């Protein structure tokens, strides 16, 4: 039977607590500086983590510094991005973003972001080409900045929609701020980071794009989609 929860904030907290019980152990922050984290987010679009990590390592091993990537031929960058989807688009994008950061700041370094407030930092980042809300939140949250911002990827988004927390029509971009505002205001940066991690893992391991495994889901009694899928199956 579907549990009625009085408001969305409590519902989201219940989801967070249940998923943290399942996936919470051992989630740790990344250890990349903000600029390196930005490059990983540019490589990660519609690419498996393993493949974007491979391409990122190729760039580091081949060029040695982000200044050298910025100054390299696009074809040479593209050759190192072969493990990713769309290296022909990502190579010029990475080069252009590195060039623009240098032009704006006079150097290739994003550590200043740690000295400004999160909304201002996200706005600054989102003015760069190819950097949307998910990427700006990832730079703030995943990097050594350890800031408070909620990235929402396709797995996280799918789980939130199926649970009825947000509507599909809102889109992944806008979902970042909407979902972040539903988290308890006293959540620490680490708890916000963990929330994304557990929602993403649930999408990867149980709430699959095709054929979600609702029978094995700890959220089934909360989930209108799961309830309807299980009902259809049993009829």
The residue ranges that bind ligand SF4 (CB under 6 A) are 159, 162-163, 206-207, 212-214, 217, 219-220, 223, 225-226
**C-beta closer to ligand SF4: residue 136 or 225:** 225
**C-beta closer to ligand SF4: residue 159 or 182:** 159
Q: In Å, what is the CA distance from 95 to each residue of 86, 88, 128?
A: 15, 12, 12
Least Å distance, CB 179 to ligand SF4, is 15
**C-beta closer to ligand SF4: residue 78 or 214:** 214
**C-beta closer to ligand SF4: residue 138 or 163:** 163
**C-beta closer to ligand SF4: residue 83 or 226:** 226
- Calpha distance 49→41 (Å, rounded): 10
For residue 33, the tally of other CB atoms under 10 A from its CB is: 15
Query: Which of 181, 177, 180, 157 lies closest to 169 in space, CA to CA?
Result: 157
Least Å distance, CB 219 to ligand SF4, is 5
- Calpha distance 125→149 (Å, rounded): 13
Q: Give the SS3 label for residue 207.
A: coil
- Calpha distance 136→113 (Å, rounded): 11
- Calpha distance 142→54 (Å, rounded): 18
Least Å distance, CB 203 to ligand SF4, is 8
- Calpha distance 67→193 (Å, rounded): 29
- Calpha distance 179→169 (Å, rounded): 14
Structure tokens at 8: 């969305």
**C-beta closer to ligand SF4: residue 108 or 183:** 183
Least Å distance, CB 29 to ligand SF4, is 26
Q: Whose CB is nearest to ligand SF4?
A: 226
Structure tokens at 212: 């979600």
């Amino acid at each position: 039977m579907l549990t009625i929860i009085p408001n969305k904030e409590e519902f989201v907290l219940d989801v967070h607590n249940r998923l943290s019980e399942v996936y919470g152990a051992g989630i740790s922050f990344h250890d990349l500086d903000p600029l390196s984290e930005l490059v990983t987010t540019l490589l990660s679009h519609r690419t498996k983590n393993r493949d974007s990590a491979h391409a990122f390592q190729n760039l580091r091993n081949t060029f040695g510094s982000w200044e050298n990537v910025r100054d390299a031929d696009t074809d040479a960058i593209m050759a190192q991005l072969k493990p990713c989807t769309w290296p022909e688009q990502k190579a010029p994008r990475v080069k252009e973003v590195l060039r623009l950061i240098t032009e704006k700041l006079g150097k290739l370094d994003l550590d200043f972001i740690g000295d400004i407030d999160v909304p201002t930092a996200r706005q600054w980042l989102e003015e760069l080409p190819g950097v949307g809300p998910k990427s700006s939140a990832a730079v703030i949250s995943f990097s050594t900045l350890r800031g408070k911002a909620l990235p929402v990827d396709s797995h996280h988004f799918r789980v939130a929609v199926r649970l009825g927390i947000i509507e599909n029509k809102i889109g992944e971009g806008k979902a970042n701020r909407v979902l972040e505002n539903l988290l308890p205001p006293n959540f620490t940066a680490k708890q916000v980071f963990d929330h994304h991690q557990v929602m993403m893992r649930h999408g990867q391991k149980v709430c699959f794009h095709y054929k979600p495994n609702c029978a094995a889901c700890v959220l089934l009694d909360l989930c209108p989609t799961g309830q309807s899928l299980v009902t259809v199956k049993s009829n």
